Homo-oligomer: A and B are copies of this chain.
Amino acid sequence: MEITRPLDLLNSAKDKKVMVELKNGKQFVGKLVAFDMHINTVLDEAEEMENGETKRKIGKVFLRGDTIILISPSD
């Protein structure tokens, strides 16, 4: 899949594992289920990470777009 617009990367990562970093420094990993143009994002099987370790498991989660710094596919 060719990426010509930023959201193309997120589209190509749907149903795959991603890492999300928030403005408050928190990191989540999980399966990317949905996102919109505001970058509001839903993860499934989400885990909050700290120093590479799972801090807590939160399952499905809605992340408000304006709190997100970056989203990176895991592979």
Which A residues form the contact surface with B (CB < 8 A)?
A: 3-10, 19, 22-25, 33-36, 39-42, 46, 58-73, 75
With A10-B62, A72-B58 already in contact, the answer to whether A34 and B3 are too (CB < 8 A) is yes
Does B3 lie within 8 Å of A42, measured CB to CB? yes
Residues of B within 8 A of A69 (CB): 22, 24, 63-64, 67
Copies in the complex: 7
Residues of B within 8 A of A66 (CB): 66
Does B67 lie within 8 Å of A72, measured CB to CB? no
Shortest beta-carbon distance, A37 to chain B, in Å?
Answer: 9
With A24-B69, A72-B58 already in contact, the answer to whether A33 and B64 are too (CB < 8 A) is no
